[in-house]
Every structure is written in C-alpha cells, then in structure tokens.
Amino acid sequence: MSTPPTGSRVVVVGAGFAGLYAATALDRAGHRVTLVTQGLGGMQLSQGTLDVLGYRATDERGSERVTDSLAAIDELPEEHPYRTIGADAVERGVAEFLELAADAPGAVVMRGDVRRPTLLPTAVGAWRPTAFVPVSMLAGAPEPGKHLHIVGIRQLKDFHPQLIATNLGRTPLDGVGPVESSWSSLDFLARAGEIDSSPVVYARALDEPATLSRFADRLATHVREQALPEGAVLGLPAVLGLERHPEVLSTLERASGVRIFEIVMQPPSVPGMRLNQALTRAYKAGHGRLLLGSSVVGVKSEQSAGGDQRVTAVTVHVAGGDRDIACDHVVFAPGGFESGALELDSHDQLHETALGLPLHGVLPIEELVHGDYWGAPQKLFAVGLRTDGLQRPVDETGAVVYSNLHAAGSILAGAYRWQEKSGEGIALGSARRCIDAIVETSREQTDAPAGVQGVAPREQKGA
C-alpha cells in the first residue's frame, strides 16, 4: 500500500498462524496495526501444511478419519472452538491465508481441499491427513500403482528411510491398498567435515548454487543405480532450500528425471520456516509495525458509556522498561502451552500468563494429566479461553471480559489440536472471526455520531 492507513488502532499479540494472518489482513484493510511478539512465532514448529480437521473422536479413546472436514464441524462437541468459529470463517480464513502466502516475497504455493484431507507420509512412516500442502509435498500423496522410493542422506540426522518405507508399505489405505515402497541412502556433506548436520544446515547449503549442483549430480547418479520401477517418485527429507526452494526442487527433478516430494522432519521444520518467512515478509511489506522480542505484561482499560470494559492500551515489556501501546482493538493470539502463554505452575495451578484472563476446562490435576500414553487425550491440552460469537473471552458466568479484545489460535479452549489435526484451521478461522468483528465494529463507530467514549480508567496486570 502506498497510502498510510487511517483506520482503527489494532494491537495483535503473537506471530503464529493466527497473529501473522490477522495482522497482515487488518493492515491491508487500512487499519493501523502493531504486531507484538516475544519470539519468532510458532509457524516454524509446524509441518508447513494447513490442517483443518483430520480426525474426529468416536469415544474417549478412539477416533476416526473424517471425509469432509467442514461438514464434520457440526458434529463436534459444543465446547469445541470450531462450533463458535463456524465453517464459513474457516473456509474464508484458509483461502485468504493461501492467497497471502502465494503472493508474498518468497512465495509458498499450496494445493489441497478445505473439505477433503490429503494423506502425506511422515518421518516415521505413518500417513497424516492434512488439507493444504506445499507443491513440494504433492507427489507423496498415495495413488494406486504409485511406488514411493525414500532416499536418505547418511550425514543428516533423524531421517531414517528404511523405517519410513517399511511402515508405509505395511499400512493398507482405503481405495489404494498397501503402498509399494522402497528405500536407499546416499552420502552427501552439507559442509565439509561436518557430520550429523541439521535439516536447516542442509537447506541453507542447497541454496548455494555450487552445493546444489553437486547434490544434483550425486542424486542423479544414485537414482540410476537404483533401477526404480516406472512411475516411481522420490521422497527426500524436507531440506530442499529456504530462499531458493522452487529452483532447488526443479533442479533436482530435472537431474534425477523423476518427481520428488519432501517429507517433513522434526521442528523447526524447513517448510514451516519457509511459510513463516513468506507471511512475515507479507506483513512487513505493508504499513504495520513489528515489535519483536517484546512480551505483553498487562493492559490499561476503561469503562465505556455502555458499562463494558474496553482495553485502551496494551502494556509491553521492552528494553528499558514497560511501554503502553494505545489501541482501539486487540487480537490476542499468543499461543498455548508451547509458547508459554499458558502455564501450569509448581502448585498445579493453571494461568494465562500475560493478562490473567479466566481459563476454562480447569480440573484437578489428576483429571487433567494421566500416565496412559495411548489412552484418552490429556485434558490439560484442552484448557484455554472460551469466547463469545465475536471471539471475545468470557468468564465462568459467560460475561465478556473486554469488549474490544478478541482471542484466536492455540489459546482457545476445547480442542485437542495434535490428535485432531485441526490447529491451523482453528487459528485461521478464529483469526478471520476477529478480523470480521474489528472491521464491522470500526465501520459502526465511523458511521455513529461522536459521543463520550468512556470513563473510569483502570489497569490490569498479568498474573
């Protein structure tokens, strides 16, 4: 945008899927956005794919794969965040995120279906359902007659092609049957004299033209030695470049003469890093401000003429002390336990650490955590904020805490994201609801006659 924004002042807390998407979309809608984040955001911990809903619980211990992710939302428990978010917001949020990622500098192009999950191989040889995947993973989707040949790099730690191929071949799939698979390994050093290099080291090395040329030659020779069946595709560890990924992938496919797909490894994942880079650049290309390395420690609020409490400023801890950022709206997307936004202390007490907002799903510790790894979900991970239809956190009575603070992402209560494969859908759908609420409220305030905004200021600090 060439014209500076003149809309509402919005503070977005958190730079994961929900925060980065909300900040970028609101900035493009003409609002004055400040994105506050303590770290680099959780996108780098993701698979670099978009999950919407892969599994639905059938009872306390079991689950089944869904065939239509959006239709299955209506069958989820009432306390699930999707029931408040709604299928329409999920569909719109995902579509807009995909557009932002594809148009950003360092674009990440993804393909898929918001309703029908695609199956992809994992680094342990399981099949994982997801909605949208980068084009570099598409060739790994199972099809009748397709042969998957998994190639490992001996000097790359934590990628085991024999394990992957063997497990994939053992798993019958509806409509496909057992998948034909095989494996091999080759030697290739990302950096001279270094063994057990990380995926990120390999990805950065392959961004260098000389290293890419060496690896392309090595891979081409290796493929010829394997005498692969016709129609085979190669599964490689997800290390195929960071900044020059499309060029790396096309170079290797031309050299080997076969289609290639990436298999995501442990976090930080290279595909997740690519996605994070693309969305961060999309946000920075606008007018929004970014406060990196800053933690939210409280808010200032006042009582409006209508009697509700409104946040007037977000208090941020920065070098040298605390700073208040004036705002008209807040999007609160700080993450969950993994980011430190939720905390279980040494006295078995649960807290939302930034603002002390009321948590839902809190039970005695013996009911939240159990020792049966393969048993029922750990209820601890369903603890979080409950919201109204505008994504505003509510207390135990259902009363809205702050009328202009909207919550999104992993901070929301009621979902087992890892088991359901629903994390990105919840993040983007809830962020879309936050955006809608802010845009609509701002429009109403612009159209309304000027009046008294509020009195009785007060301050709230986090627990």
Residue whose token pair is 């690896």: 215
In the structure, what pLDDT confidence band is assigned to residue 379 with cuts at 50, 70 and 90? very high
Confidence of residue 422 (pLDDT cuts 50, 70, 90): very high
Lowest average pLDDT, out of 255-259, 278-282, 443-447, goes to 443-447
CA-CA distances (angstroms) from residue 348 to 344, 362, 364, 463? 6, 11, 8, 15
- Residue 6 pLDDT grade (very low, low, confident, very high; cuts 50, 70, 90): confident
Model pLDDT, residue 463: 33
Rounded Cα distance, 413 and 359, in Å: 8
pLDDT tens digits, 250-265: 999 999 999 999 999 9
What is the rounded average pLDDT of the residues 228-252?
95
pLDDT, residue 331, reads 98
Mean pLDDT value of segment 240-252: 96
**Is it the case that residue 350 has pLDDT exceeding 50?**
yes
Rg (CA), the chain: 24
Strand 63-65 versus strand 55-57 pairing type: antiparallel
d(C-alpha 291, C-alpha 312), whole Å? 18
* pLDDT given at position 373: 79
* pLDDT band, very low/low/confident/very high, at 192 (cuts 50, 70, 90): confident
Preceding peptide of 268 cis, ω within 30°: yes
The pLDDT confidence band at residue 448, using thresholds 50, 70 and 90, is low
Q: How many angstroms separate the CA atoms of 229 and 148, rounded? A: 10
Q: What is the mean pLDDT of residues 176-187?
A: 90
Mean pLDDT of 369-377: 85
| CA–CA distances in Å: residue 94 to residues 49, 188, 392 | 11, 38, 21
Please report which confidence band the pLDDT of residue 3 belongs to, taking 50, 70 and 90 as the band edges: low
- Say what the pTM is: 0.93
Do residues 422 and 13 lie in contact, with contact meaning Cβ atoms separated by under 8 Å?
no
Q: For residue 455, is pLDDT > 90?
A: no
* 81-103 pLDDT tens trace: 999 999 999 999 999 999 999 99
Cα–Cα dist 282/330, whole Å: 20
Q: What is the pLDDT of residue 452?
A: 35
pLDDT value of position 186 = 97
- What pLDDT score was predicted for residue 391? 97
pLDDT at 194: 79
Residue type, 34: T
* 3 state SS for the chain: CCCCCCCCEEEEECCCHHHHHHHHHHHHCCCEEEEEECCCCHHHHCCCCECCCCEEECCCCCEEECCCHHHHHHHCCCCCHHHHHCHHHHHHHHHHHHHHHHHCCCCCCEEECCCCCEEEECCCCCEEEECEEEHHHHHHCCCCCCEEEEEEECCECCCCHHHHHHHHHHCEECCCEECEEEEEEECCCCCCCCCCECHHHHHHHHCCHHHHHHHHHHHHHHHHHHCCCCCEEEEEECCCCCCCHHHHHHHHHHHHCCCEEEECCCCCCHHHHHHHHHHHHHHHCCCCEEEECCEEEEEEEEEECCCCEEEEEEEEEECCEEEEEECCEEEECCCCHHHCCEEECCCCCEEECCCCCCCECCCCHHHHCCCCCCCCCCHHHHCEECECCCCCEECCCCCECCCCEEECHHHECCCCHHHHCCHHHHHHHHHHHHHHHHHHHHHHHHHCCCCCCEEEEEEEECC
Nearby residues of 111 by Cβ (< 8 Å), 6 or more positions away: 132, 133, 135, 138
pLDDT averaged over every residue in the chain: 91
Return the closest-CA partner of residue 150 out of 268, 260, 267, 254: 260
Residue 207 has pLDDT above 70, yes or no: yes
Distances (CA, A) of 19 to 24, 187, 333, 407: 8, 41, 6, 10
Q: Phi first, then psi: give them for residue 109, nearest 5 degrees.
A: -95, 130
What's the pLDDT tens digit per position in 15-69?
A: 999 999 999 999 999 999 999 999 888 899 899 999 999 998 876 667 889 999 9
Strands 127-130 and 118-121: antiparallel
Report, as an integer, the average pLDDT of 126-131. Answer: 95
Q: Report the distance separating Cα 112 and Cα 54, nearest Å.
A: 13
Residue 185 β-bridge partners = 152
Looking at residue 451, its pLDDT comes to 42
Tokens of 28: 């493009």
Partners of residue 459 on adjacent β-strands: 300
Return d(Cα 144, Cα 364) in angstroms, integer.
Answer: 49
**pLDDT of 116 higher than 90:** yes
Q: What is the pLDDT of residues 308-345, one digit of tens each?
A: 999 999 999 988 889 999 999 999 999 999 999 999 99
Q: Tokens 């798993």, residue?
A: 171
Residues 135 and 109: beta-carbon distance below 8 Å: yes
